[in-house]
Amino acid sequence: MTYGFVGLGQMGAPMARHLAGPDLIVYDVRAEAMAPFAGKGARPARTLAEVAAASVISVMVRDDAQVDEVAGALLPAAARGTVLAVHSTIRARTAETLAERARPYGVEVVDAPVSGGFMGADAGTLAVMVGGSDAAFARVREPFGAFADLVLHVGSVGAGTRMKLARNLLHFVSFAAAAEAQRLAEAAGVPLGRLGRVVRHSDAVTGGPGSIMLRRTTAPLEPDDPLYDVMRHVYALGEKDLALALELADELGVDAPLARLACERLAAGLGLPEEET
């Protein structure tokens, strides 16, 4: 199988590096980005149309507009049966529209956004969330495994992007919460560098926010659900600790809106009826 890779930036370059060899065709608007791959036996393409010779093509570019531009050049040149995989974080409807555009050419599209940052791309330990047909997933599973150690089929085209957006919502809201925690710690005279070390250490042990993502639905839990008592325990700890943190914030004059909102919504978020908390 010949593999194509378009977009050799901070994420694309290390991902493509795990595929480097005589069966890889690479393309980037910057010639200097392609040069290291030539040294590893891969073939730098002069145009996007040359990449269309590959049977599976990965695209890792900046945004929806660039995905559309790349697809516009690839689709007319691609052979029937080609799989076009979009790793960029885009709108779900962009992936769905692209799949419709590709159908007359006999090209299958999968949206396959990744999670794990450039560190995971470099180490080959990314998570890939794949939306597409069963047949297309079967084609991409092995090559994606070169740069990822978790490759999941999550539904039809668009499902991968929807999952990535939900995952990133947690990611960046957590950043805002981390900033709030740092403001509280700084006002309390706590060294921020050491707080960061504790957070990274304990999250590596517990799994962080993902450790409570165990339910198959966000509907309220029934009392006989095996997770019911687990979530009641989580709520009891959270309610106590958030109350103590907010008490400290009030004493120090630190605004903590995310903590207050979490206190209000924690029970429902864990699937516990209000009357049970």
Rounded Cα distance, 68 and 35, in Å: 25
Q: What is the CATH number of domain 214-276?
A: 1.10.1040.10
Give me the count of residues in the chain. Answer: 277
Beta-bridge mates of residue 169: none
Q: By the 8 A CB rule, do 6 and 60 touch?
A: yes
Rounded Cα distance, 43 and 21, in Å: 8
Look-up of token digits 């740069």 = 147
Three-state DSSP class for residue 108? strand
Q: By the 8 A CB rule, do 15 and 121 touch?
A: yes
- pLDDT number for residue 1: 84
Rounded Cα distance, 199 and 224, in Å: 33
Rounded Cα distance, 260 and 37, in Å: 51
Q: Kindly report whether the global pTM for this prediction surpasses the value 0.75.
A: yes
- pLDDT number for residue 273: 85
Q: Select 3-162's CATH number: 3.40.50.980, 3.40.50.720, 3.20.80.10, 3.40.50.300.
A: 3.40.50.720
Rounded Cα distance, 168 and 149, in Å: 19
Annotated active-site residue 40? The verdict is no
Nearest residue to 94 via CA among 48, 126, 62: 62
pLDDT values of the chain reduced to their tens digit, one per residue, 277 residues:
899 999 999 999 999 999 999 999 999 999 999 999 999 999 999 999 999 999 999 999 999 999 999 999 999 999 999 999 999 999 999 999 999 999 999 999 999 999 999 999 999 999 999 999 999 999 999 999 999 999 999 999 999 999 999 999 999 999 999 999 999 999 999 999 999 999 999 999 999 999 999 999 999 999 999 999 999 999 999 999 999 999 999 999 999 999 999 999 999 999 998 755 5
Rounded Cα distance, 271 and 130, in Å: 28
Element holding 159 (H helix, E strand): helix 159-187
Of 17, 153, 164, 232, the active-site residue reads 164
Q: Tokens at residue 164, please?
A: 């990535």
Q: Where are the alpha helices (DSSP H) in 75-158?
A: 92-102, 117-123, 134-144
Query: What Å distances lie between residue 114 and 33, 76, 129, 132, 167, CA to CA?
Result: 21, 27, 6, 15, 10
Rounded Cα distance, 49 and 72, in Å: 10
Rounded Cα distance, 256 and 243, in Å: 11
Rounded Cα distance, 116 and 205, in Å: 17
| Separation of CA 93 from chain center | 17
- pLDDT number for residue 277: 54
Where does CATH 3.40.50.720 sit in the chain? 3-162
